[in-house]
Chain A
Amino acid sequence: MTPIDPNDTEGRLRDATNAYTDTVEPAPDAWALLRERVDEGRRRQRSRTIGAAVVGAAVAAAVVAAMFLAGGSDGDLVVETPPATDGPTTTSPGAPSAQCDPGQEPRPRVGSTAVQVWFFCPDAGLSDSPLVPVWRVVEGTDPESIVEGALQALVDGPTSVEQERGFGSGIPEEVWGANVDATLSDGTVSFDVDYDLAGINNLSTSNMSLRWWYAIGATVFAIDGVEALDPSGACVGEFDCTMPFMPDLLDEANLGAQATSEDCSGARAILWEQVGDEPPPAVAATRFSIADAAAVCDWEALRALMADDFSYSFGFEPNADGAISYWQDAEAAGEPIMRTLAETLSQFTTESEGHYQLGDPSEPLGYRVVIREDGAWTAFIAGD
Chain B
Amino acid sequence: MIASVAVSDPYESLGLDRDAALRTLYDSDYRALLRLASLLVDDRTLAEDVVQEAFTRLYHSWDRMRDPAAAPAWLRSAVLNLARSMLRRRRAFTRIRFVPAPHASSPEGAAVLSEDRQEVLAALAALPRRQREVLVLRYWSDLSEAEIAAALGVSAGSVKTHAHRGLLALRDALEDRR
Binding between chains A and B:
yes
Prevailing SS type, chain A contact patch: loop
Question: What 1/0 mask marks residues of chain A from 25 to 65 whose CB sits below 8 Å from any chain B CB?
Answer: 11100110110011001100100000000000000000000
| Nearest-CB residue, chain B, relative to A35 | B22
Interface residues of B in 124-158 (CB under 8 A from A): 124, 130, 135-136, 139-140, 146-147, 149-158
Cα distance, A21 to B36, chains bound together (Å): 8
Cβ 8 A contact of A79, one of B57, B100, B165: B57
Q: Is the pair A16, B109 in contact by a Cβ cutoff of 8 Å?
A: no
Cα distance, A253 to B157, chains bound together (Å): 23
Interface residues of A in 210-231 (CB under 8 A from B): 212, 214
Given contacts A10-B167, A79-B64, A128-B64, whether A20 and B117 have CB atoms under 8 Å apart is: yes
Given contacts A13-B120, A41-B59, A256-B153, whether A24 and B146 have CB atoms under 8 Å apart is: no
Cα distance, A247 to B73, chains bound together (Å): 21
Which residues from chain A contact B61 at a C-beta distance below 8 Å? 77, 79, 81, 127
Q: What's the least CB distance linking A333 to chain B, in Å?
A: 6
Cβ 8 A contact of B82, one of A9, A249, A332: A249
Cα distance, A275 to B114, chains bound together (Å): 55
Given contacts A17-B140, A252-B85, A253-B57, whether A34 and B26 have CB atoms under 8 Å apart is: yes
Given contacts A9-B171, A20-B100, A20-B121, whether A252 and B67 have CB atoms under 8 Å apart is: no
Question: What 1/0 mask marks residues of chain A from 254 to 265 whose CB sits below 8 Å from any chain B CB?
Answer: 111110101100
Which residues from chain A contact B35 at a C-beta distance below 8 Å? 21, 24
Which residues from chain B contact A255 at a C-beta distance below 8 Å? 81, 84-85
Q: Is the pair B84, A94 in contact by a Cβ cutoff of 8 Å?
A: no
Question: What 1/0 mask marks residues of chain B from 158 to 172 whose CB sits below 8 Å from any chain A CB?
Answer: 100110110111110
Cα distance, A89 to B31, chains bound together (Å): 26
A18 lies within 8 A of chain B by Cβ: yes
Q: Is the pair B140, A18 in contact by a Cβ cutoff of 8 Å?
A: yes
Cα distance, A194 to B153, chains bound together (Å): 33
Cβ 8 A contact of A76, one of B38, B39, B64, B114: B64
Contact count band on A:
35 or more
Cβ 8 A contact of B88, one of A12, A125, A214: A214
Q: Is the pair A250, B120 in contact by a Cβ cutoff of 8 Å?
A: no
B24 lies within 8 A of chain A by Cβ: no
Which residues from chain B contact A10 at a C-beta distance below 8 Å? 139, 167
Q: Is the pair B60, A126 in contact by a Cβ cutoff of 8 Å?
A: no
Which residues from chain A contact B149 at a C-beta distance below 8 Å? 94
Q: Is the pair B109, A83 in contact by a Cβ cutoff of 8 Å?
A: no
| Nearest-CB residue, chain A, relative to B31 | A26
Q: Is the pair A33, B112 in contact by a Cβ cutoff of 8 Å?
A: no
Cα distance, A9 to B163, chains bound together (Å): 12
Q: Is the pair A253, B124 in contact by a Cβ cutoff of 8 Å?
A: no
Interface residues of B in 25-73 (CB under 8 A from A): 26, 30-31, 34-36, 38-39, 44, 47-48, 52-53, 55-57, 59-61, 63-67, 69-70, 73
Most buried by A among B31, B34, B48, B74: B74
Q: What's the least CB distance linking A17 to chain B, in Å?
A: 4
Show 15 residue pairs from A and B whose CB-CB distance is below 8 angstroms, ordered by the A residue: A12-B174, A13-B170, A17-B121, A19-B113, A20-B121, A21-B39, A38-B60, A77-B60, A87-B69, A94-B151, A126-B65, A257-B154, A260-B158, A262-B130, A332-B161
Known: A10-B167, A13-B135, A92-B153. 9 other contacts (CB 8 A): A13-B170, A24-B47, A33-B52, A38-B22, A83-B150, A84-B77, A86-B70, A92-B150, A253-B57
